[in-house]
Amino acid sequence: MKTIALANQKGGVAKSTTAANLGIGLARHGKKVLLIDADPQANLTQMLGWQQPDDLPITLSTQMEQIIMDEPFSPTAGILSHSEGVHLLPANIELASVEVTLVNTMSRETILRQYLSSLRNQYDYALIDCSPSLGMITINALTAANSVVIPVQAHYLPAKGLEQLLRTIAKVKKQLNPQLNLDGILLTMVDGRTNFAKEIGTLLRSTYGAKVLRTEIPQSVRLAETSVEGKSIYAYEPHGKAAGAYESLTKEVLSLDEREPKKHRSDLTR
Ligand code: ATP
Ligand code: MG
């Protein structure tokens, strides 16, 4: 199982949208995919059609609490099945209190990793949708992951926030998770009509080189609309440019894994 964390402490950069559409994209290529909502805002859970996350009896926080208390747990409990072929471990607001509990927990950075290792034979991919923070749940996600994808909104110069995130990733890699790789920075909400969007793309590519994924996700009203429809862009507007872009992101992610066989991944440096 390859675990990918979608992380950026900046809000609204399309982490959740990318988790949903990359996850469903991978499932469309025959992969077994588990999506994990690791944000107490529960946007991913809602986007996939579970509109009342606070009513869900078992979520990521339930599972993490069991591990924190060292109680037996059933790893598949609470996992929901979406009609487009992915599974989802949902979240709700209770995850915010787990974040607080973690501060005084033994092995506090590895709780999510412990949970996921119990599922590693059941899925090809686990995608973790992080919240817009660098708090303990995000550190848990980075500690559990093999790779990070950083969505970056092409509207702003991401400079400082991105450097801070890259430093955090490097620190987690050094201290907690030597397997961690940066799979790439993903430009999202690219408005192809503006020079500004192009300049940000050029600047990121000249600064971070091959770490910037080839695929760019265009600005798309249709994509924004999917978030209330409970479905992916492939189901909502299959022949549009946004569906095409997420399909090419899916292929790019698949090709990264073909190029870097699993057993060698840990040898690669960032
Ligand atoms: P948060 O940090 O709050 O978790 P996020 O990084 O997960 O946010 P999303 O929720 O995926 O970001 O996206 C933010 C908003 O932008 C949503 O309303 C979403 O529908 C919209 N959006 C995402 N991608 C695009 C796009 N390519 N074009 C236009 N709107 C988009
Ligand atoms: Mg989100």
Residue-wise pLDDT for 84-102, tens only, equals 999 999 999 999 999 999 9
Residue 59's identity, in one-letter code, is T
Is residue 41 scored above 80 in pLDDT? Answer: yes
Eight-class DSSP state of 191:
-
Q: What is the pLDDT of residues 204-238, one digit of tens each?
A: 899 899 999 999 999 999 999 998 999 999 999 99
Task: Select from 8, 16, 138 the residue to mutate for testing ligand 1; criterion: most ligand atoms less than 8 Å from CB.
Answer: 16
User: Over 90: is that where the pLDDT of 201 sits?
Assistant: no
Q: Is 214 helix (H, G, I), strand (E, B) or coil?
A: strand
> What's the start-to-end Cα distance of the chain, in Å?
20
Residues ≥6 apart with Cβ < 8 Å to 44: 16, 19, 20, 35, 37, 88, 90, 91, 129
Per domain, the residue ranges of the chain are 2-258
**Measured in angstroms, how far is the CA atom of residue 264 from the centroid of ligand 2?**
31
How far does the centroid of ligand 1 lie from the alpha carbon of residue 227, in Å? 8
Contact call for residues 27 and 21 (beta carbons, < 8 A) = no
pLDDT at position 10 is: 94
Is pLDDT above 60 for 270? no
Q: For residues 53 and 62, what is the distance between their CA atoms, to the nearest angstrom?
A: 13
Query: Which pLDDT does position 263 carry in this prediction?
Result: 47
Structure tokens at 111: 């709780």
Q: What is the pLDDT of residues 149-186, one digit of tens each?
A: 999 998 777 667 899 999 999 999 999 999 999 999 99
Which CATH number is 2-258's, of 3.30.70.20, 3.40.50.300, 3.20.20.150, 3.10.129.10? Answer: 3.40.50.300
Q: Tens digit of pLDDT for each residue in 185-196?
A: 999 999 888 888
